């Protein structure tokens, strides 16, 4: 945890939510099969990821995979009680040791949504170049500002600064991805080619990102890729159409809600709760269980 005012206040609020029974209430509802919890990570260290796995196991939860969720949606499997789905976005290098090793040791399914280009080329994720270039005064826009710029324009800006701020590989290698996939418990699914903000892309670019990432992963892994996670959770009906055309059967957003039987009406808008790498574990428990997203407002005036 990074110790700052926000995180300490959030820690205290999370302890309050736990002590007053909010998390327990949610667990009781999950035990009754009211909903499935779905959670996403990015690049957690091993201690954080393993703590999250252990918290759910100690609280009687079972882990389900993205394929299990699809089977549940199709009613090939019953709607489960006390179940959680773990997903991981981007394909960070640390995922092999911090996610895959833990998943295999605890024998739990996990899905990694990987962006293929950083894996194929060894280039860092585009926002890392911008953050570094911004620090050095080489580019005026921040990462969040560039996420709103037309994709073509953003790509040009990234290309112009990349050589000036060398960054080591941040993503898994193709061989690492293959090894992880071959172990069986971690499935690799798609998170586009270059991790653009899809809503800023032209039709052609958006379709390419969705289709090409699937083709590349299927060639590398010799497995069917059927599931997708939207970069930054941003999409429109256009992306859903491209996903359907490409043969994906489900897609995950970053909307922090429970997965219920209702959610299966639209398999391309499946919600997920986030885990943050910089906050207290108590806050992450509240985030993963959804308690955090339905908390009393404690914001004081003045």
The residue ranges that bind Zn ion (CB under 5 A) are: 89-90, 231
Q: 88 or 108: whose CB is closer to Zn ion?
A: 88
Question: Minimum Å distance from CB 256 to Zn ion?
Answer: 16
Q: Does an H or E element contain 85, and which?
A: strand 83-90
Question: Minimum Å distance from CB 234 to Zn ion?
Answer: 10
Coil, helix or strand at residue 10 = helix
Kindly report each contact of residues 230-234 with a partner whose C-beta sits within 8 Å and lies 24 or more positions away, as own/partner. Answer: 230/198, 230/254, 231/89, 231/115, 231/191, 231/192, 231/195, 231/196, 231/197, 231/198, 232/147, 232/197, 234/197, 234/198, 234/199
The answer to whether residues 111 and 38 touch, using CB atoms and an 8 Å cutoff, is no
How many C-beta atoms surround the C-beta of residue 25 within 10 A? 13
Question: Minimum Å distance from CB 85 to Zn ion?
Answer: 17
- Strands 250-252 and 227-229 turn out to be parallel
Q: 83 or 250: whose CB is closer to Zn ion?
A: 250
Q: 25 or 121: whose CB is closer to Zn ion?
A: 121
Q: 22 or 239: whose CB is closer to Zn ion?
A: 239
Question: Minimum Å distance from CB 230 to Zn ion?
Answer: 8
Q: 191 or 207: whose CB is closer to Zn ion?
A: 191
Can you spell out the DSSP letters for 100-131? Answer: IHHHHHHT--EEEEE-HHHHHH-PPPHHHHHH
Question: Minimum Å distance from CB 195 to Zn ion?
Answer: 6
What's the start-to-end Cα distance of the chain, in Å? 27
The answer to whether residues 85 and 38 touch, using CB atoms and an 8 Å cutoff, is yes
Q: 64 or 88: whose CB is closer to Zn ion?
A: 88
Question: Minimum Å distance from CB 40 to Zn ion?
Answer: 9
Question: Minimum Å distance from CB 209 to Zn ion?
Answer: 12
Q: 44 or 231: whose CB is closer to Zn ion?
A: 231
- Strands 110-114 and 83-90 turn out to be parallel
């Amino acid at each position: 945890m990074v110790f700052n005012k926000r995180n300490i206040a959030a820690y205290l609020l999370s302890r309050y939510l736990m002590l007053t029974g909010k998390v327990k209430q949610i667990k009781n509802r999950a035990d009754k099969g009211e909903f499935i919890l779905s959670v996403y990570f990015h690049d957690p260290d091993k201690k954080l990821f393993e703590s999250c796995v252990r918290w759910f196991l100690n609280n009687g939860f079972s882990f389900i995979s993205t394929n299990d969720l699809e089977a549940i949606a199709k009613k090939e499997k019953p709607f489960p009680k006390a179940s959680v789905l773990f997903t991981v976005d981007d394909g960070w290098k640390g995922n092999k040791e911090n996610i895959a090793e833990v998943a295999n040791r605890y024998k739990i399914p996990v899905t990694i949504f990987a962006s293929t280009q950083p894996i194929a080329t060894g280039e860092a994720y585009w926002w890392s170049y911008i953050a570094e270039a911004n620090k050095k005064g080489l580019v005026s826009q921040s990462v969040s500002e560039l996420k709103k710029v037309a994709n073509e324009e953003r790509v040009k800006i990234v290309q112009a600064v990349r050589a000036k701020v060398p960054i080591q590989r941040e993503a898994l290698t193709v061989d690492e991805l293959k090894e992880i996939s071959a172990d069986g418990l971690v499935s690799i699914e798609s998170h586009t080619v270059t991790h653009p903000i899809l809503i800023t892309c032209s039709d052609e670019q958006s379709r390419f990102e969705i289709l090409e990432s699937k083709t590349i992963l299927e060639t590398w892994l010799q497995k069917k890729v059927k599931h997708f996670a939207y970069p930054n959770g941003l999409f429109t009906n256009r992306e859903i159409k491209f996903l359907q055309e490409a043969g994906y059967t489900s897609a995950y957003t970053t909307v922090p809600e429970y997965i219920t039987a209702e959610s299966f009406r639209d398999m391309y808008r499946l919600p997920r709760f986030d885990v943050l790498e910089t906050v207290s574990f108590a806050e992450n428990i509240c985030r993963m269980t959804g308690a955090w997203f339905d908390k009393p407002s404690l914001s004081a005036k003045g």
